[in-house]
Amino acid sequence: MTSHDWLVLATFAFEAAFWLGAYALIVKHSFGEKIHGMPVVAMCGNISWEFILGLGLFPACPAYWANCPQPVMGPVTFLAALLDVFILYTIIRFGRDQFQTPFIRRYFPTLVLLGVATAAGIIYTFMSELYTLNIYGARVGNGVPEFLQAGLQGGIFTGWGLALMMAILFIAMLISRGDVRGQSFYIALFMGLGNLGAYMFDHTAAVRMPTIVDILAVASLTLNAVYVVLVFRKSKALGIDPLRRF
């Protein structure tokens, strides 16, 4: 691997460390406070995306990074998917109490699992059937195709779409609950830093990024920063020291 490849790998390590840390803290607060710490819809998309890449249904390595170490990228993504399983469990165990509609309360576990299956189908189909211009000049097989399958791009389109959705839903969850149960300043900070690492990874690994990815990423990072500030302020308003509540 070249020095550039090591730099790309370092940005991936930065991304992975903070996202895995955020997941671990979500699980910790969920069990400790008996309330789920990730919005249900966000979890459905997140666990689907990470299992698709972690299991190798599409490679975790983007085609535009020629020397990408799949034996590293795949297992780390799969580890994130395993942490998502614990988050899914906390949602099924504690999430029912957050809904008042009788139908949702009665069939809550079934609806959650149906949501995961639906998200997995949508994301996999998107990765399979969407092709975009190969602006990276990535090689596939023995040639450089004009169009590149979305699933060969490291899940970049679906990944940033999910990142933006999660950024919106976490803010909505904080506002609707009116407290910081299941959430913390460090969860918010780690998610933001994880997405910042992902953005650095994409720009370091590729020749250039599609404009839509830059728009999704900047919007996500902006909302991540808003969420960090909101959690910090809400903690202070509730008499909680956000820096001591790890």
Give the model's pLDDT for residue 80: 96
Domain that holds residue 40: 3-237
Q: Which tens digit of pLDDT belongs to each residue from 219-238?
A: 999 999 999 999 999 999 99
Tally of CB atoms within 10 A around 107? 12
Give the model's pLDDT for residue 171: 98
- What does each C-alpha distance from 22 to 50, 109, 148, 193, 215 come to in angstroms? 15, 24, 32, 10, 24
Q: Considering the entire predicted model, what is its pTM?
A: 0.94
- Any domain includes 82: yes
- Any domain includes 95: yes
Counting beta carbons within 10 angstroms of the beta carbon of residue 100, is it exposed (0 to 12), middle (13 to 18) or buried (19 or more)? exposed
- Any domain includes 126: yes
Give the model's pLDDT for residue 237: 97
Helices (H), 146-184: 156-177
Instruction: Give the number of domains in the chain.
Output: 1
Beta-bridged to residue 163, according to DSSP, are: none
Q: Which tens digit of pLDDT belongs to each residue from 142-182?
A: 889 999 999 998 889 999 999 999 999 999 999 999 999 99
**Which residues of the chain, if any, have pLDDT below 50?**
none
